Chain A
């Protein structure tokens, strides 16, 4: 109950942030652009192959890219100062002076900031949906909603990472550096390291069949897991790493449903460490 009280207040506070409004606007622009590109590409294919407007899945595919990049940024920007910022400013003493446990505060922050990120995603996707209606004409609302739900889940995972980081330190600078470092790590370093490892093991980067461990490793980042989870929901392989590498029988870790497990681990591990650190910290 206490966590809900904290979450409600936190939502009211964070939802009034200008940063959030700006990020949401950028996100909406990108979904709109994605919708436009999807319809443009669809028309192109229609001319070439004589087919009509493409399925909603293709549209989802077009929107997954902006969402995959922007949702983590929104969640990290919204979440990185959740705890560290209050420790720095001193408002945490007001919060903890009231009868809330430290755990309540962290859980409340995650719920509050997740709700904020969810609103941002909903606004962005609503604009995207309008765009799809305008540019394409017809969209499967159910598929679109499923996609939205999985994306909100993805946002939730990054909020857990951000708030987890934020609870580990009393400095927003360090929390921000951690959040920024994670983005760089997942986007660039992860696949770079995997490639280096591939070269070390196989002696080459170019091969017809990539080894299972390589496909598994690449599937373990939260961003890849997001694709896997979408694939699992739609029963379509086209969003997964395995498909990208042409693997027909993906290893367990690269299975679409396993994306949910990966997402859960990415949410819980930073959160667990954050809770432990914050629980024993001198404020």
Chain B
């Protein structure tokens, strides 16, 4: 069962392509983390799902309904926390929640929702005086109205301190346990890693990776970076480097003076060290560092500064 299904969606603004033939599906009941640097097309994708914008080509459906034709029904069953959303400055926090409840024909208790997101104390204050974090909490409360089947959260931790972000993740887990599907975007891996069943990484309008968090980890060969300090540079240094490079499992070797950096699979470590010693030098020191999921994310999304921002 898929809750969100995007097939071959393209969105162009003039000559700029914000999304390029995106295929993406979110299964019912899962927490899907939508990752990518700013400007990769995350908000464009979410705006397509919500019918805020229309695709240049391709199909978007939610609950098996057409995102354009049945947008009202979709939004009745969905709770939304849009990115960069603003409140009505002259209305109180409670008024916002009451408005969402009335709009959805739900029967929630506004105070309970405000309590849940931790701003019950400010319920009667005008939202214009709220801090960024409080605004984000208020908008989150309105997204929770009517026990939605789907929660769409665009950069939900914006403006929240680490504690607030943790509280929000807690509520997201509770909502998911109740049965809600959660689709949430972030440009920070840590936000997503802790909570998501599956992760999609978007780069320049294209999905470059999609898997479970563990799957993404497994998909990386167990690469290790060996940093080796030797006592001297061997006479025939290029032949020495070639010998190390030719070891099975080594992908990269670089030398800087008497420091060697060797990227290799875990299993090749011992062979590499032995091969270095065979070059007639002695090892004075060595260190290893495991690559993390963060490295993978960086590798996928690096060099993204010239992105199309919308």
**Residues in chain A within 8 A of chain B (CB atoms):** 2, 5-6, 9, 12-13, 16-17, 89-91, 93-94, 96-101, 280, 282-283
Contacts and interface: CB of A to CB of B under 8 A. Distances in A.
Given A5-B103, A9-B99, A283-B53, A97 B82 contact: yes
Contacts of B82: 90, 93-94, 97
A99 B52 contact: no
A17 to B, nearest CB: 7
16 contacts: A5-B102, A9-B91, A9-B99, A13-B90, A16-B90, A16-B91, A17-B90, A90-B86, A97-B50, A98-B80, A98-B100, A98-B142, A99-B73, A100-B103, A101-B72, A282-B52
A13 B53 contact: no
Interface string B63-106: 00000000111011000101011111011000110011011100
A94 B86 CA distance: 8
A99 B82 CA distance: 14
A94 B88 CA distance: 10
Interface in B6-47: 13, 47
A98 B50 CA distance: 10
Contact of A91 (B52, B73, B85, B102): B85
Contacts of B91: 9, 12-13, 16
A87 to B, nearest CB: 10
B95 to A, nearest CB: 7
Nearest to B52: A283
Given A91-B85, A94-B82, A99 B90 contact: no
B4 interface: no
A99 B86 contact: no
A90 B95 contact: no
Interface string B117-147: 0000000000000000000000100110000
Interface residues of B, number: 30
A90 B53 CA distance: 14
Contacts of B47: 282-283
A13 B99 CA distance: 12
Query: For B13, B73, B87, B99, which residue has the most chain A Cβ atoms within 10 angstroms?
Result: B99
A27 B249 CA distance: 84
B252 to A, nearest CB: 45
Nearest to A12: B91
B103 A93 contact: no
A197 B174 CA distance: 72
B12 to A, nearest CB: 11
Nearest to A104: B72
A117 to B, nearest CB: 17
Contact of A93 (B52, B76, B102): B52
Contacts of A94: 82, 85-87, 96, 139, 142
Contact of B104 (A17, A96, A99, A283): A99
B54 interface: yes
A90 B82 CA distance: 9
B162 to A, nearest CB: 25
A98 B79 CA distance: 8
A100 B85 CA distance: 17
A280 B47 CA distance: 14
A85 to B, nearest CB: 10
Contacts of B104: 98-99
A97 B76 CA distance: 9
Contacts of B139: 94
B103 A99 contact: yes
Contacts of A12: 91, 95
A90 B99 contact: no
